[in-house]
Every structure is written in C-alpha cells, then in structure tokens.
Copies of this chain bind each other. A is one copy, B any other.
Amino acid sequence: MVKKLWGGRFKKKIDSDFDKFQSSIQYDWRLAEYDIYHSMIHSLALLKMGVLKPQEEKKLNAALKEILDEIKIGQFKYNPESEDIHTEIQNRLTEKLGDLALKLHSFRSRNDQIVFDERYYCVIETVKILGLLLEVLGIFSELANKHKEDFFIGYTHTQRAQIIKFEDYLLAYYGMFVRDFERMERFLKNLEIPVGCGALAGSYIKKEAYKKAIEETIEFIIKGVNERYRDKRWFKLSENPLSDVSDRDFLIEFLSILSILQMHLSRLAEDLIIYSTKEFNFLILPEEFCTGSSLLPHKKNPDFLELLRGYTSRIYGDLVSLLTLMKGLPLAYNRDMQLDKEPLFSSVEIIKEELKILAKFIKEVKLNKKVISKVIKEDQNLYTTEVAEYLTEKGIPFLKAHEIAGKLIRFAEEKNKKIKELDNKILKRFSLNKKIISEIFNPNFVIKRRRSIDKEAENKLKALLGFKNA
C-alpha cells in the first residue's frame, strides 16, 4: 500500500475496498499543476519562517519544477494507489529528496491545498471557456454581418410571428452568449484563491512570510494565463479560514453560469433541429457534423445538435449534484466535499468540447433563402400586425384595431382568399383599401417600421471584444 499523509494514531490497516472507495487520484490528477504552485508558495513561506534552509528550499523548488515539466508536456503518470494528488506529489518528492520532502507539509493541511488547487483550476478553465466563447461570438457576429440583408421568420410559440432579418435571429444568440461571457468575466474577477487556511483554524505561518512568498512566485504561476484576464489579486491570505475550507460557493456559482450557457446551447440546438427538418427547410446543416442510420440508408441526422441539446442533462445534473452535496453539511470541512470534483470536471470538459465544435459547425450552416422568400411572399399573416397598427394610427383604439385585423384574417380564411385579392368593397368593411394593403404587404415596409437591433450597442461590444467587423 502506498504511503499516506496520516496514520500514526491508527492501530489497524485501512480496509482495502474502502481505501479504493475513498481515493480520489483517478480524477483529482487534474489538479496536479495547481498543487505544485501551492507547494512552491508554501516552501518559500517555510524558508521565510526559518523551517527550511535556503538550500533546502532550492532543492524542493527544483524537484517541484521537474514534476511540473512532466505535467506540462503531458507525461505525468500517477500511481493509482495514491490516495489523492497531494499524496502522490508528496510521495514523488520523497522519492526524489528523502526526508527533506517531509518538511514541505509543515503547518499546512490538505484542506489548504484543495482550496487553492480547485479555485485556481476554476480560474484557468474559466479563461479557456472565455476564449472558446469569444470564438463563437466572433462567428455569430460575422454571420450576422453577412446576413444583414437576408429575411428570416421570427417565431413565438413555434408559430410564425413576424418577418425579421436573419441577422436579428443570429444576434439573439449572440446576445445570449454575450450575457454568458459577461457573467463569466464577473465570476473570474471575483474569484479569490486563499492560502494559509490550515485544517480549519489558520496556519502558524506568519502573514508576512506568505505575502512575500506569493509576491515572489506569482509571475511564474500566472504566466500561462491570457493577459486579458490575468489578475494578481486573485491570490491572497485567507481572511477567514473556517469559512474558506468549507466554501464551495464558487463551484455552485460556476456551474450555475455553465448551466445558463448550456441552456442557451440547448435552445439553439432545438431551433436548428426544427429549422433543418425537411418540412421547414430553412437551414442546411453541414454533413460533416451529421451521422447516418445503420438501418435507414437515407438518413442525415443532426446528431451534433441533438447531443448539444442532450448534454443539458449532464450540466444540470452536475449542478444539482453540487447543491445536494452541500445541503446541511456542518462546519467546517467534511469528506463529502471530495465529491465536488467529478461534477466540476465533467461539466467543464463537456462545455469546452461543445463550444469548440459549435464554432466549426455554425460557420457551415447555410441559409436556404429560396424557402424563406417563398414563405414571406405567401404567408399573409406575417403582415397583419401592421394592419392593426395602421388602423391605430388612423385613430382606432389599438385593441379595436387588433380585433378588426383578426376578423379580416378569419374572413379571408373562411372565404379561402388572400387578403391581397380582396376588393375595396370588402376591405372597406375593415376600414382598409387595396392601396394600403399593397403598401403594407411588403417585407421591407414591415422591417423598417420596427426599431431593429441596436447596432450601436452591438458595435461597442464588438470593439470591446476586439472583433474586426465592428
């Protein structure tokens, strides 16, 4: 059995099934890099406290960097019998340095490390997700630009509602992803990564020692973070260790943000699935993101979109998992909290894959302009709001005008006629005439009447995000 970080007071050996059950190395290896950073800060603080000699700190630091290099080039292999990543790295150091390595854990607890590692993991992954989201935003923005002049149909209740521009439609999702982006930036800005919690009651290490240790290592630690987001103020001394070791708010907040983003993805997926049916035929999906059937040779299925919609189940499930986990846990740390990691990792990895593929996918979706044109030409209902509004401008109180327009539609349907074909005698009953109708039943008229997307606001944002077509 692999060496553990505790055990002196125990007479019996740990049950081997339980040992496997309780170990977390199979998933918390993802925290290896961050654990190294914590140890780098900590060993420097121990130097400043006089617990390590300069030569000792140097050796520890070098050994830590050796392991870090393995991690960075993807060569890090963990012993599956280690209890967790903290134990694994400690044992590696002991192999390399003998008794000296045993000094590293002075005055610190794994609780310190978990808090640090998990929060820095969130920082790094949030930055990655922001990058992927930016990519997606850029493509939506480009597409919107490209489709400035193309008509589209706006739906409510999955029923045709009004004529819009395809740009409007694309910018609606653009708007959602901007909200996600901003929410994630706020989250990142408010994240804190405390050191010095101890097990729950703080550490013997002096404030000054830790502060200096942070100052001297910070450049090294954050050099990989995108400059746009890099923020040295993330790292700080724990102001309230009891609270810090038992806090998982940031994870719930993070997964809530991802859940909202995922919900947006599910809506986009649903829309595109519907729009790409043979019946709608508004959009044509790129074949390289579809699959076929093993029985039905003709099938070209929108699998990417279905999986995109389906993964909502997992992100929501992970959020519920974290909420359930934390309900009613007494202070401070409880072992239950170890189970926060798999939902976190799972959600982060799913979201990243989705965004990566979405960017490639959405670029290749084609608008079927011919079909849209036909709808706009043939469906007279798309112009009736303007009929009611016209009557209102003529002085008929709106709710009456609305009723008149409704009755006109019903009349035309019952007579099985197009409104455009009705003669002036009939139209007069509805306070209308052919000239008005022909003016109104025009997509450009309809679009122009309504205030469209606020391009000014959009352009400001684009500039801010550094998009070219701002």
Contacts and interface: CB of A to CB of B under 8 A. Distances in A.
A207 interface: yes
Given A17-B356, A295-B385, A300 B159 contact: yes
18 contacts: A4-B291, A5-B402, A8-B406, A9-B298, A11-B287, A13-B288, A158-B334, A159-B301, A161-B332, A175-B240, A202-B450, A239-B453, A263-B323, A298-B384, A298-B385, A306-B336, A313-B321, A313-B324
Copies in the complex: 4
B240 A157 contact: no
Interface stretch (A30-38, A107-115, A214-222): A107-115
Interface range on chain A (Cβ under 8 Å from partner): 35 or more
Interface in A345-387: 353-354, 356-357, 360-361, 379, 381-382, 384-385, 387
A9 B388 CA distance: 13
Chain A interface, >50% SS class: helix
Interface stretch (A73-81, A126-134, A224-232, A393-401): A393-401
Interface stretch (A63-71, A117-125, A246-254, A431-439): A246-254
A48 interface: no
Contacts of A7: 292, 403, 406
Interface string A311-324: 11110111111111
A339 B314 contact: yes
Interface stretch (A273-281, A421-429, A462-470): A273-281
A92 B54 CA distance: 60
B312 A172 contact: no
Nearest to A385: B296
Contacts of A12: 286-288
A88 interface: no
Contacts of A451: 196, 202-207, 237
A102 interface: yes
Contacts of A107: 295, 389, 392, 398
